[in-house]
Structure 1
Amino acid sequence: MKTTPHYRFVLLILLITSFLTSAHAFQKDKDKFVVVLDAGHGGHDSGNIGNGHKESSIALNIVLQIGKELEKNKGIKVIYTRKKDVFVTLRGRAKIANDADADLFVSVHCNAHHSQASGTETFVLGVANTKRNMEIAKKENEVIFLEADYEKHYEGFDPNSPESLIALSLLQEDYTENSIKLARMIEDNFSKGLKRKSRGLKQASLWVMHNTYMPSVLVEVGFLTNKAEGRFLNSSSGKTKMATAIRKAILDYKSHIEQNVGENIYQGNSESADIEIEGEPQIFENVVFKVQIAASSKKLAPKSYNFKGLKDISREKVGNTYKYYHGYTSDYTIVKQLQIEARAKGYKDCFVVAHKDGNKIDVSEALKSASN
């Protein structure tokens, strides 16, 4: 990507290829938690070189340290988009992640700015609501132009088009919640563990094509253009500290996801108590409401004893993730009560989802439907 003195962020590479993408090369690792680590830039794309520090080299060093420690865990498979100073196309990085049928995609970069701005930022895909985020997304997606035959491979996508950017965010909607969980864990480790300045969790419309089916984050570990921060990130201890913080967040995220689907079997009555429904019925024709209580790479039987006694459990597989739901009703009043019940059982982050004619729709859209 061409280096500019203006906002310098680097893009989150997510997944391309179609829904039918297979993972034959990694079938032996299907019983493991698969993490794809992406070191930004590489080869003729050095990224930013604030204060003479090379982004592509720093990002690669951090990624290799993260991977080395994660590989000590027998339950984790680590895959790298690059392990040396080479240029990898966006579609190439995406293919690696898709073929791996990964559970997580983590991209590491260094920031730059024309001022002495400092601090970490972790991005997840989302609609860019501010002018600043829109400009960031445009600049980061422009790395496409470094690739030969980009018109052929990116099907007319225009990094400068607001419509294109907004469309990107819709493709990762199912994974936003878990992406945000990981992003928060990473930023908390930076700010609370390392006492680094955190600029927080951000959302921007970064490049995605076709089917994206894993939680993904882009981590900006700091500004090379800030003299003090650049020196820290270029030092051996600085890179090790940032790698350790990210690695711990990945392990905590894995633990959180596994515990959230009932790792500790409920010891009480396998049948949950009947709930008393309050309020008038709100029936929506051809709409089914459920409460999503968990999402995980683990496949569990949809039985009440696996979900703290909740009954009427269903399971859906999306990519490499299993989603677990409580309830099945066309009555919005009932589903809200089911959500209260799930929260009382410990599923604090559960939320209502809606399907119409077999397709997932926004709950707000469902509620606009004519009531019977």
Structure 2
Amino acid sequence: MKRDSFKYLRLILISTLCFISFTSKAGNFVVVIDPGHGGKDPGARGTSALEKTINLAVSLKLGELIESNHRDVKVVYTRKTDRFIELDERANIANRNKADLFISIHTNALKNKTVSGTETYTLGLGAGRTDENLEIAMRENSAILLEDNYEQKYEGFNPNSSESYIIFEFMQNKFMEQSIEFASHIQKGFARKNRTNRGVRQAGFLVLRKTTMPSVLVELGYISNRSEEQYLRSNSGQSELAHAIYTAFDKHKREHDRKAGSAQTTNRSDAPDTARSNFARSNGQTSSRNNTSTSVAQSSRTSKTRASKAKTYKVQILTSNRKLPKGSSRLKGYSNVDYYVEKNIYKYTYGSTESYNEILKLWRKVRKDFKDAFIITFDAD
């Protein structure tokens, strides 16, 4: 009887150890959330709010959402309080923790106080080639001026010199495609919250330069716009923005799990919708946006079907508040131009391919005529 009891205890012990071994793998997906600025670096200033405060509030809300709904994810913050962190140390934190995703949260500002809306940036791709993108990158990168020996640390980079941004021209890494895709998810999330969608853009942000994982820099809105500043500083506004980013993270994580063959069936009370864009074709029909609810637990058949559907890349070249006539001078002689409609705005695109390398080549060609052109991604139908 004692021998049977001993065997029974051994089985319990082995089972317990196996359980501990399994649960210790929880947190094998690491996301680093980076609240921009902090401490002696206030970031952009509004009439009554500071960028660093807004960034931190939204970042903490985002982290709480991820931790509450994804028990297998480890959330790491570059800061959780009002303190100054050097730009290269922010990237180092992500690299040391072997992060799978890096999200830098910022609040925008421009001299033009009428501008409003959200945008999400990735690194490189002709960074700083537009005046607006350059102004934003210069402001965000100016934080290094508060660091000791920044000339040596950043190899002579001068955040206030447009010539310095040439180094970002062809700076890319193997995670660029994933970064652009995740950035597109974020912008779709903002659009569903009725925020003005200013698209996915590219610029030379130092904080993204040395990260070795998919990385984005999110601009939540314009603190220089008085109306938007009030939204950004409100608890409800911050919660909405955090949830919009969370829905993008949730989609990215589920895609990551599917590709890894380990789709999670975590209990989430607010599984987000997946926005799909239907393009207008040559017949001139306007497009519509359909939200398709995606179930949390997916069958293997559904997973295989979705896995076979590739992303579509296009280059957005311009927008208009009305439909342009055929042969419009604004299209500069380009044919086979497509468009889709979002919030009564006609958004014109050129090219369509499932190859990131092909769209990158096309983008470099198109930007000679459309300096503000950028790459966008869409889910397959």
TM over 0.5: same fold? yes
RMSD (Å) for aligned C-alpha atoms: 3.1
Deviations 1:323-355 (A, max 9, x none): xxxxxxxxxxxxxxxxxxxx994345664879x
**Structure 2 residue 48 is the aligned partner of structure 1 residue 85:** no
Aligned amino acid, residue 346 of structure 1: K
Give the direction of change, closer, same or farther, for the CA distance of 1:151–1:223 in structure 2 (3 Å limit). same
TM-score, length basis structure 2: 0.60
- The residue that corresponds to 2:182 in the other structure is 182
Residues 178-202 of structure 1, C-alpha deviations (whole Å, 9 max, x = no match): 11111111111111x2111111111
CA distance in structure 2 between the partners assigned to 1:231 and 1:208 by the alignment: 27
State the alpha-carbon separation in 2 of the partners of residues 106 and 59 from structure 1. 11
Q: Which residue of 1 aligns with 2:316?
A: none
Distance in 1 (alpha carbons) for counterparts of 2:76 and 2:259: 25
Q: State the 1:122 CA deviation.
A: 0.9
| CA gap 1:308/1:154 in 2 versus in 1, 3 angstroms | same
TM-score (norm 1): 0.61
CA distance in 1, matches of 2:117, 2:87: 26
- What SS is found at the alignment partner of 1:217? strand
Any residues of structure 2 matched to 1:1-372 within 5 Å, and which? 32-72=28-68, 73-114=70-111, 115-126=113-124, 127-128=126-127, 129-160=129-160, 164-168=164-168, 170-191=170-191, 193-207=192-206, 211-260=210-259, 345-348=308-311, 351=355
Higher mean Cα deviation, 107-116 or 201-210?
201-210
Give aligned pairs, total. Answer: 255
Q: Is the 8 A contact 1:137 1:205 kept in 2?
A: yes
Amino acid of the residue matched to residue 235 of structure 1?
S
Query: Which amino acid in structure 2 is aligned with residue 81 of structure 1?
Result: T
CA-to-aligned-CA distance 1:156-194 (integer Å, 9 cap, x gap)? 223355564243354433211111111111111111x21
Structure 2 residue matching 1:174: 3-state secondary structure: coil
Note closer, same or farther for the CA distance 1:131–1:226 as it changes in structure 2 (3 Å cut). closer
Which secondary structure does the structure 2 equivalent of 1:252 belong to?
A: helix
Residue 224 of structure 1 and its aligned partner are, at CA, apart by 1.5
The amino acid of 1:181's aligned partner reads E
- 2:37 maps to a residue whose letter is H
The alpha-carbon deviation at position 155 of structure 1 amounts to 2.2
Does structure 2 retain, via aligned residues, the 8 Å contact 1:41–1:56? yes
The gaps in structure 1 that reach 5 residues or longer are 1-27, 265-306, 310-342, 355-361, 365-372
Question: Take 1:150 and 1:122, find their aligned partners in 2: how far apart are those partners?
Answer: 26
Given that residues 62 and 243 in structure 1 are in contact (C-alpha distance below 8 angstroms), is that contact kept between their aligned partners in structure 2? Answer: yes
Relative to structure 1, the CA distance from residue 31 to residue 363 in structure 2 (aligned partners, 3 Å threshold; closer, same or farther) is: farther
Question: Match of 2:123, as an amino acid?
Answer: L
In 1, Cα distance between equivalents of 2:148 and 2:53: 23
Q: Distance in 1 between matches of 2:47 and 2:36?
A: 18
Secondary structure of 2:219's counterpart equals strand
SS at match of 1:52: coil
Q: Deviations over 1:210-250 (max 9, x none)?
A: 75321111111111121221111111111111111111111
| Alignment-mate amino acid for residue 41 of structure 1 | H
Query: Does the aligned pair in 1 maintain the 2:119–2:187 contact within 8 Å?
Result: yes
Distance (whole Å) between structure 1 residues aligned to residue 166 and residue 223 of structure 2:
29
Amino acid corresponding to residue 186 of structure 2 in structure 1:
I
Aligned CA distance change for structure 1 residues 206 and 30 (closer, same or farther; 3 Å): farther
Cα deviation code 1:47-88 (max 9, x no counterpart): 122121111111101100111121121111100000000011
Conservation of the 8 A alpha-carbon contact between 2:109 and 2:224: yes
CA distance in 1, matches of 2:151, 2:234: 39
Q: Which consecutive unaligned segments of at least 5 residues does structure 2 have?
A: 1-23, 264-302, 313-353, 363-381
- CA distance in 1 between counterparts of 2:185 and 2:99 reads 19
Note closer, same or farther for the CA distance 1:162–1:258 as it changes in structure 2 (3 Å cut): farther
1:111 and 1:363 map into 2 onto residues whose CA distance is 29
How far does residue 263 in structure 1 lie from its aligned partner after superposition?
5.8
Instruction: Indicate if the aligned counterparts of 2:121 and 2:183 stay in contact, CA closer than 8 A.
Output: yes
